[in-house]
A and B are shown apart, each in its own frame.
Chain A
Amino acid sequence: MRGLGKELRTGLIAVLAMTLVLGLAYPLVVTGISQVLFPGAANGSKVSFDGRVVGSRLIGQEFKGKAFFHSRPSATGYSGDATFFANVGPNSKEGREEVRENLAAYLKLNKPFDRGLTKADVPVDAVTNSASGVDPQISQANARIQAHRVAAVRGLPLDEVEALIDGVVEGRGLGVFGEPGVNVLELNVALEEAAPLR
């Protein structure tokens, strides 16, 4: 039978020792190994273009104008250092207005280049907020609609742009888990390489 004093002493030693081992040794060792074995992945999977870093493959960016593929709507202004959910509820009036506006804007932007486009063709990801605010991907359906616009503006044949899309499709995990998506930053980098704006 141990007294409270002995328990407190054991407890104090345990608390300090575990903080050193689990709080410092463990993360620092994992960081060291990761930096040696997977430096690219451990430092944010950066993407370069024209000799400079233009973003992370994993973090979506804002793209404006007709010459780029656009990312999904973001509630955070595509922030990579202050994230939050849009928190639009299923029965929210603001939610309905937001989807309405997004739908109208999407059609206005893309319909001139894709005459047959109707509301019913617009995939859900194109007009709803992502969770992270920086979803790096869009659906393949979304990319194929935008391809008409981007091809026309850049003066590229449509099938060439569609080939670029196919080149940056990320499949399901192990072929099964999650959904395929098109990486928007990589697609726009590929576009800039194929048909630079300037």
Chain B
Amino acid sequence: MVQGYVQIAIFFAVVLAVVKPLGIYMAKVFRGERVFLTPVLGPVERGAYKVLRVRPEEEGQDWKQYAKSLIVFSLLFWVLLYLILRTQGLDPWNPRGFHSAPWDVTFNTVSSFVTNTNWQYYGGEVTLSYFAQMAGLAVQNFVSAAVGIAVLVALIRGLAARSGRSLGNFWQDVVRILLYVLVPIAVVGALVLASQGVIENLSGYTVIHTLSGGTQVLGQGPVASQEAIKLLGTNGGGFFNVNSAFPFENPSGFTNVVEMFLILIIPASLTYTYGRMIGSQRQGWAIFAAMAVLLIAGTVVAYVAEQHGTPAQHLAGLHTHAMDGSTGGNMEGKEQRFGIASSALFTAVTTATSTGAVNNAFESLTGIGGAVPFSNLGFSEVIFGGVGSGLYSMLLYAILAVFIGGLMVGRTPEYLGKKIGAREIKLVALGVLVTPLTVLLSAGLAAAAPAGTRSLYAGFTPQGFSETLYAYLSQANNNGSAWAGYTGFLQPHGPGNVGAYGISFTDLLGGLVLIAGRFLPILFVLAVAGALAGKKVSPAGLGTMRTDNPTFVFLLLGIVVLVGALTFFPAILLGPVVQGLSTRLF
């Protein structure tokens, strides 16, 4: 296992090395300063403002205007994506002549991609044309990520502002985030992946006459370009059904580490950007430290658990120990080129961030290994989390921690010198609790309603309960990974998709949960930003509770774990923990 820990340690070291330079770069982008790409992209940026008819210097927005622009933008994209997916039969680049998925499945898919979730009830290669993947879904991978980052930037501006109400200009933020951050990194990432064997073409599916005389059809398509932004924007929706486990999406141990790197660099670096923009780097590192502790803990637990193997394997007489030339461990639902360590690391990284791409089958994880994705989602995606969304959610927790800390020592709570009043703490509490509440209500409804049980794969077992709970946990937290059995779209396993139909209850409930889990917290965050923007900053005194030292990191960790555990521990006990502690089969 030593080699596995070395892989994990080197990966985190590489990510850590990027945090500062990328963090500084993004701070410059968000402040509208010159960066090294400005000579090339500056004219494009100015052209974009002209086309969009916005004058960002003159049009600072307060929180309501910022929210209005954001909602208009997201709503219009929702409508366009729905139209694209429902008129698929007319698309160019549709070599297999796919028709559209049913309306209910499309409702779910559209809501899923607009909210940066990429929960998928369909299998990409048997449902979608290349056109729908490129012009529909990949566009959402970019813009939903940009929206998440924009909300974070607005919140930081609210925290840092000395006076006034402006949180910046939404249109300017989105344009600059896309132009200077997401597109350049995605282009480089896509070309690196394509050079390593991730396919990137517009050819039809290829029929192969195999070496031993059979035939095999190979899916094709513009995968690399979508793969890069799928990870960079913490989206996670696979071009193929088995996502980053499919060799054409993730062909080697090297591409696997590139993909995990793309997932983490923006969420991790944003903590540095945050420190820089509020003028105290230590505040950024404090948040980073809290996130890193939870991510590393989750990775180690998953690795140890997966290396152990499963009760079903042991009872079948299989020896799951490592031997010369084999890693051993639970290789069910895993790929040889990733092995146990890189699969466990990917699992932790993709669920701690709100990515949800997978390189192994979650349903086949060991009980305790499976509890790691559950816990990561149960912490409301604040362990680095989605691009922008992870940090803005964590900042709500930070304010909550300050408030609770203030109650304990009997002082008026302050964060970054701003007094936290009744209005702010109410908004923060709502922002923190709305997602867990959505999960519990929807998962409870789905588990209790007869219509919900049609989506189960594993039936009324702990595994079946895990599937249901995880489906709504994943959708409400905008993650998008799945305990793959649970479905809202019954697709026969084969080309042509004949006889496929949607399960309306599951699709619609999921779609509403997706939207609630994304836009309600965003509105609360912007309202908090608006409430804080106009507040005066009082200088730190002797009695001020510091928020940049290990004590605060510990307090913040405690609050995150406490809220997550109090909300979800009973439910997680019924699913993965039962499976992890029991050697019974069912």
Residues of A participating in the B interface, judged by any CB pair closer than 8 Å: 1-2, 4, 6-19, 22-24, 26-27, 29-31, 33-35, 37-38, 41-45, 49, 52-65, 68, 72, 76, 78-93, 95-100, 103, 119-125, 127-144, 170, 172-174, 176-179, 181, 185, 188-189, 192
Question: Which residues on A sit within 8 Å (CB–CB) of B320?
Answer: 124
Q: In the docked arrangement, what's the CA distance between A177 and B523, Å?
A: 41
CB under 8 Å from chain A, chain B span 447-471: 457-458, 462-463
Question: Which residues on B sit within 8 Å (CB–CB) of A2?
Answer: 59, 65
- Kindly provide the distance from the CB of A8 to the nearest chain B CB, expressed in whole angstroms: 6
- Kindly provide the distance from the CB of A73 to the nearest chain B CB, expressed in whole angstroms: 9
Q: In the docked arrangement, what's the CA distance between A121 and B370, Å?
A: 27
CB contact under 8 A between A90 and B365, given known A1-B65, A12-B76, A19-B139: yes
Question: How many A-B pairs fall under 8 Å by CB?
Answer: 412
Q: In the docked arrangement, what's the CA distance between A101 and B275, Å?
A: 57
Contact B318–A18 (Cβ < 8 Å): no
Partner of A90, one of B139, B253, B331, B367: B367
- Kindly provide the distance from the CB of A163 to the nearest chain B CB, expressed in whole angstroms: 15
- Kindly provide the distance from the CB of A186 to the nearest chain B CB, expressed in whole angstroms: 10
A60 nearest CB neighbor, chain B only: B247
Check: B538 CB closer than 8 A to any chain A CB. no
Question: Which residues on B sit within 8 Å (CB–CB) of A1?
Answer: 65
Q: Mark B290-307, 1 if CB is under 8 A from A, else 0.
A: 000000000000000000
Binds A, one of B35-43, B182-190, B372-380: B182-190
CB contact under 8 A between A89 and B199, given known A10-B54, A12-B76, A96-B316: no
Contact A10–B171 (Cβ < 8 Å): yes
Q: In the docked arrangement, what's the CA distance between A29 and B512, Å?
A: 36
CB under 8 Å from chain A, chain B span 526-543: none
Contact B183–A26 (Cβ < 8 Å): yes
17 A-B contacts, Cβ less than 8 Å apart?
A4-B68, A13-B51, A13-B53, A23-B134, A34-B190, A34-B201, A43-B203, A54-B208, A59-B247, A81-B205, A82-B494, A82-B495, A103-B316, A125-B331, A129-B332, A178-B253, A179-B338
Check: B2 CB closer than 8 A to any chain A CB. no
Q: In the docked arrangement, what's the CA distance between A19 and B318, Å?
A: 51
Question: Which residues on A sit within 8 Å (CB–CB) of B247?
Answer: 56, 58-60, 132, 134-136
Question: Which residues on B sit within 8 Å (CB–CB) of A95?
Answer: 310, 312-313, 316, 332, 585
Q: In the docked arrangement, what's the CA distance between A78 and B320, Å?
A: 24
B305 nearest CB neighbor, chain A only: A90
Question: Which residues on B sit within 8 Å (CB–CB) of A12?
Answer: 76
Partner of A124, one of B186, B217, B318: B318
Check: B548 CB closer than 8 A to any chain A CB. no
Check: B123 CB closer than 8 A to any chain A CB. yes
Contact A86–B218 (Cβ < 8 Å): no
Check: B446 CB closer than 8 A to any chain A CB. no
Nearest 8 CB-CB pairings of A with B: A178-B253, A173-B254, A179-B339, A173-B253, A141-B325, A23-B135, A140-B325, A123-B326
Contact A124–B330 (Cβ < 8 Å): yes
Question: Which residues on B sit within 8 Å (CB–CB) of A10?
Answer: 52-54, 69, 72, 171
A127 nearest CB neighbor, chain B only: B318
Question: Which residues on B sit within 8 Å (CB–CB) of A30?
Answer: 187, 190-191, 194, 200, 222, 224-225
Check: B282 CB closer than 8 A to any chain A CB. no
Contact A177–B210 (Cβ < 8 Å): no
Q: In the docked arrangement, what's the CA distance between A92 and B466, Å?
A: 13
Contact A34–B194 (Cβ < 8 Å): yes
Partner of A88, one of B197, B245, B333: B333
Check: B474 CB closer than 8 A to any chain A CB. no
Contact B224–A19 (Cβ < 8 Å): no
Contact A179–B337 (Cβ < 8 Å): yes
CB under 8 Å from chain A, chain B span 195-209: 195-203, 205-206, 208-209
Partner of B218, one of A11, A64, A81, A142: A81
Partner of B332, one of A14, A24, A63, A86: A86
- Kindly provide the distance from the CB of B229 to the nearest chain A CB, expressed in whole angstroms: 8
**Residue from A23, A121, A189, A192 whose CB has the most chain B CB atoms within 10 Å:** A23
Check: B126 CB closer than 8 A to any chain A CB. yes
Partner of B484, one of A42, A85, A181: A85
Question: Which residues on A sit within 8 Å (CB–CB) of B463?
Answer: 89, 91-92
B257 nearest CB neighbor, chain A only: A177
Q: Mark B311-340, 1 if CB is under 8 A from A, else 0.
A: 111011111100111111111111111111
Contact B328–A92 (Cβ < 8 Å): no
Contact B585–A137 (Cβ < 8 Å): no
Contact B126–A123 (Cβ < 8 Å): no
Contact B224–A34 (Cβ < 8 Å): yes
Q: In the docked arrangement, what's the CA distance between A120 and B214, Å?
A: 33
Check: B256 CB closer than 8 A to any chain A CB. yes
Q: In the docked arrangement, what's the CA distance between A67 and B532, Å?
A: 73
Partner of B256, one of A42, A138, A177: A177
Contact A122–B216 (Cβ < 8 Å): no
B135 nearest CB neighbor, chain A only: A23
Contact A82–B136 (Cβ < 8 Å): no
Binds A, one of B6-14, B102-110, B156-164, B549-557: B6-14
Q: In the docked arrangement, what's the CA distance between A17 and B65, Å?
A: 22
Question: Which residues on B sit within 8 Å (CB–CB) of A4?
Answer: 68, 72
Partner of B195, one of A38, A121, A170, A192: A38
Question: Which residues on A sit within 8 Å (CB–CB) of B272?
Answer: none
CB contact under 8 A between A34 and B323, given known A22-B138, A55-B216: no
- Kindly provide the distance from the CB of B492 to the nearest chain A CB, expressed in whole angstroms: 9
Contact A37–B339 (Cβ < 8 Å): no
CB contact under 8 A between A120 and B200, given known A11-B76, A83-B241, A178-B338: no
Contact A90–B364 (Cβ < 8 Å): yes
Contact A31–B225 (Cβ < 8 Å): yes
Question: Which residues on B sit within 8 Å (CB–CB) of A142?
Answer: 325-326
Question: Which residues on A sit within 8 Å (CB–CB) of B332?
Answer: 86, 88, 95, 99, 128-129
Contact B210–A80 (Cβ < 8 Å): no
